Structures are given as C-alpha cells and as structure tokens.
Structure 1
Amino acid sequence: MPHFLNARVTHLEMYKRPAMTVPSPINLQIAIMRAYHMPVHFYRYLYEQIGKAHHWNVRRKMTDAALKDLIQSENTVIHILYVDGCPAGFAEINLKELPKSAEIVYFGLVPDYQGRGLSYFFFNEILHSVWESNPDKVIIQTNTLDSPRALQLYQKCGFTPVSYNDVMIERWD
C-alpha cells in the first residue's frame, strides 16, 4: 500500500528574460547538450537518480510507450548537463503552450554533482534557452519535498511566486 507525504507546492512565474549570465564553475569540463530522440531507459535513469529523493512520481508511472511519445514530442525539450564526460543533470521543458508560456517541468542534478556550484550555472543556461522560444512568460513549480535550495534558486534567477497549494505525494520507496 502506498504511503503519502504532505507537500506545499509553490507556483512561480517569470515575465522577462534574465539580464545576466552565470559563469561556469572552474576546473570542470562542462557541456550542456539538447537530447534529441532520447531513449526511454536513459530518461528513466536520470529521472530516478535525480527524482527519487524528492519523490518525483509522474513519469515513473508512465508506460514506456507513453513516456517515449512525451519525451520525443516536438513540444518537449530536454537538456542534459555533462560534467567531465558524465551525465550530471537534466532539464525538461514543455513548449506546448507557446507563445503564452513555456514551462520548466523538471530540473535537477544527480546527487554526486550537487553542492559543487553547478545548479545556478545550469539553471541560468536553461532559462536563456527557454527564452529563445519567445514565450510571454516562463513557469515552474517546486514543492517542499524538492531540494530546500530549489525555491531560493528560482527566485534568485528572477521567478516570483504566484500561488501555493497543498498536495499529497506518493512516497518513492
């Protein structure tokens, strides 16, 4: 029987592209690559490595066929962060509501790469790429089960909270 956790979801919006860029961390070989035709198994690997600790459940419950259709859709953009040749994080962007909005659906780093100054750089690069699609606004949400630094990062990058709601999220055991 599944166990559920209480979480407060914060919905955030951004109405103008960021003015600044963030330099990449030094002493690391960093690449951000857009994943075209991403294999389902690789997506599931990153999703679990990043999302399990935060109880991300939506994509893990999807069938392989449904997940493939979603992640390989023309409305979905996935960027992967590589550090020293290894996958270190990913971002998933939904563009189906353009030009009204673009949504950063998932963003995160593999635990081995957290705490190394990569999140601010990677998220800023993702924001700049999202704004290339010319949305009226960019939206994102986070909840209290995500990294405690996520909300701070999003606000530091220019997002403003617009609403909150409480939800029950199934625990990823």
Structure 2
Amino acid sequence: MTSASAPMTARITHLEMTAPPAHRVQMPQGQRLAVLRTKNMPLAFYRYLYEQVGKAHHWLLRRDLTDADLSAAIHAEHTEIQVLYVEGSPAGFFELDLSRLPGEAEVLYFGITPDFQGRGLAKFFLSEAVFAAWAHEPERLVIHTNTLDSPRALQLYQRIGFSPYAWSEETVEPWG
C-alpha cells in the first residue's frame, strides 16, 4: 500500500482545438447562473477556488506560491479568470493563459467545485471558457488533463471539440 504522501505519476494528455466550435453550449435551465470575469481577484478568494476545485486532483502549479508570486500570476495582463456562480455561490472557475498570443491560448485551469458537480454545469462552463479564449483570436487553443483529474474530463474536452496531440508524464506531490 502506498503512503498518502508518496509522489504520484500522472499521465498528461495534451489537447488542442484549431477552430472555434460552431455553437456555444446553452446555459442549463432551472438554476440561476452567472459567469463573471474577475478584475483584481483577492488572493484569498483565488486560493479558495483553487483548493476547492484542485485539491482532489492534486493541482500544484499555484499551490505553494507566495502572495507576491500568486498576485503576479493571476493579475497579469495575459491572465483572464472567470467565475461560475450558481444561485449566488461560487461554483467553479476557469483561467486562461493568453501570454503566447497570437499563436496559442491555453485553458490553464478549469473546474467545478465538488458541491456543484453532477448538476450538468461542466459542458456549459467549458463552452464559456472556450469561447472566451477564442475571443482573443488565437491560432489554436490548448488544454491539458491528466490521470489525476476527473475521469470524465478527457471525454468532456473531446466532446466540446478538443483533440489529443501529445502525451507526457509528470511526478506530482499529493495535496496534504
């Protein structure tokens, strides 16, 4: 049996989209939803969303950043963050990395918090992320998923129009 703190190996699937989808996924009915782009998001709120969405999947890029480094990353001109609200509560977020434009935009982070999973929100919210990225007119849009993410993530990304183009592996320290 492996210790809870033992490093894990994640197999990463790199996906791309070279043209925007023909149609946006419609907002699900029956819930009051809002998707709002953030401006100068408080670091504590970002950390809350990052942990709520990413802890189960052992996200690590922003996990241990100092306040100064996190602020520089999320408040950068080339970073766009949008938050999904359901009935007024934060339910997920996506973060776009636009630093490689005009060639490439990346959906760096995307996810729904555990309290709001299983409500049919992911396909709609991913569509919002995709169209937000294509609004910047990249030549291609990329996203990455790995074996530590939701088992449905890869299927969702492919259903929305992404295609795998490469694979890699990474050693990940579990989220304590």
Q: What's the TM-score, normalizing by structure 2?
A: 0.96
Measured against aligned partners, the alpha-carbon deviations of 1:4-44 in whole angstroms (never above 9, x if no partner) come to 11110000010000101211111100000000001111000
Displacement of 1:57: 1.3
Q: Which runs of 5+ in 2 are unaligned?
A: none
Equivalent residue for 1:97? Answer: 100
| Poorly superposed stretches of 4+, deviation over 6 Å | none
Residues 6-155 of structure 1: pairs in structure 2 closer than 5 A: 6-155=9-158
Displacement of 1:125: 1.2
- For residues 32 and 155 of structure 1, the distance between their equivalents in structure 2, rounded to whole angstroms, comes to 22
Measured against aligned partners, the alpha-carbon deviations of 1:133-156 in whole angstroms (never above 9, x if no partner) come to 000000110000001111111100
Measured against aligned partners, the alpha-carbon deviations of 1:96-141 in whole angstroms (never above 9, x if no partner) come to 1000000000000000100100000000011111101000000110
- For residues 162 and 113 of structure 2, the distance between their equivalents in structure 1, rounded to whole angstroms, comes to 23
- For residues 93 and 161 of structure 2, the distance between their equivalents in structure 1, rounded to whole angstroms, comes to 20
- For residues 70 and 166 of structure 1, the distance between their equivalents in structure 2, rounded to whole angstroms, comes to 24
Q: Is 1:159 aligned to 2:162, yes or no?
A: yes
- For residues 100 and 21 of structure 1, the distance between their equivalents in structure 2, rounded to whole angstroms, comes to 22
Displacement of 1:3: 2.2
* Identity score, percent: 51
- For residues 94 and 167 of structure 1, the distance between their equivalents in structure 2, rounded to whole angstroms, comes to 20
Cα RMSD (Å)? 1.1
- For residues 144 and 26 of structure 2, the distance between their equivalents in structure 1, rounded to whole angstroms, comes to 25
